[in-house]
Amino acid sequence: MSDMLKNFPSIKSVPAELVHRWKLVSPPPQDIYIRFGGGGEYLVSQSQMSFAVAPDGQTLNWANAVWNRHYGTGQTLIGVWRTGLAPNLEEMYFRDDGTTWYTDTTNVAVGIFSILTPGFASGDMIYEERRGTATASGNQIVVNTIFGGRYEMLYSLSNGDQTLTIESPIGNFFVYERV
């Protein structure tokens, strides 16, 4: 083993105390959440959003838009939905395993959703997009985004592991509260 590899800090998965959903509280509160998964997933979301599938199962009201069913049947969220017109067409595939696939003219996003109310016809849900992977060593966290960026940041936990502070590579501080 080379000397360089011997001196390289051990990179491990994200520590258990980070494996939670965190709400951004500073700078000024925004509707932004991050979540670190136990397998190193890094996800970004907004607060819960309401959705409703029409009784005939052909339209979905969600994310301030009306989506038309392209694939699937019944009064259920599961299926492929489209909104907009070419060249600005958006498509969302809600799978029965809780995963999603979203595409538009410039973006492909893989995510997960959690329905917070019983049933798949209407209610509230949390939709999270997978934005990359995260690893940690000491008080450093490294996020490798799906877009090719790599961000090395410092983090600290306080208030009984209920508050997460992240220092960006350029010295900005972001404070999150565990939810």
Same domain for 93 and 143:
no
The answer on 92 and 36 residing in a single domain is no
Range from 4-8, 105-109, 148-152 carrying the lowest mean pLDDT: 4-8
Q: What is the 3-state secondary structure (H, E, C) of 89-135?
A: CEEEEECCCCEEEEECCCCEEEEEEEECCCCCCEEEEEEEEEEEEEE
pLDDT score for 9: 40
Which tens digit of pLDDT belongs to each residue from 44-56? 998 888 899 999 9
Max Cα-Cα span within the chain: 66
- The number of folded domains in the chain is 2
pLDDT at 1 over 70: no
For 61-75, what is the mean pLDDT? 93
Q: Of 11-15, 68-72, 112-116, give the lowest mean pLDDT range.
A: 11-15
pLDDT of residue 12: 52
pLDDT interval class at 60 (50, 70, 90): very high
What is the band of 4 on the pLDDT scale with cuts at 50, 70, 90? very low
Question: Does residue 153 sit in the same domain as residue 172?
Answer: yes
Pairwise pLDDT comparison (115 vs 15), residue with the higher score: 15
**87 and 59 part of one domain:** yes
Considering the domain architecture, whether residues 93 and 161 belong to the same structural domain is answered as: no
- If pLDDT is split at 50, 70 and 90, which confidence band does 6 have? very low
Please identify, among 87, 104, 126, the residue that sits at the C-terminal boundary of a domain: 126
**pLDDT score for 110:** 84
Answer yes or no: do 37 and 60 share one domain.
no
Indicate whether 138 and 99 sit together in one domain.
no
Report the CATH number that the domain containing residue 136 is assigned in CATH: 2.40.128
Residues 55 and 116 in one domain: yes
Q: What is the pLDDT of residues 81-128, one digit of tens each?
A: 999 988 889 999 999 888 898 888 887 888 888 887 777 788 888 889
Closest CA to 73 of 117, 114, 121: 121
Do residue 121 and residue 135 come from a single domain? no
Instruction: State the residue range of the domain holding 98.
Output: 50-126
Whether residues 98 and 141 share a domain: the answer is: no
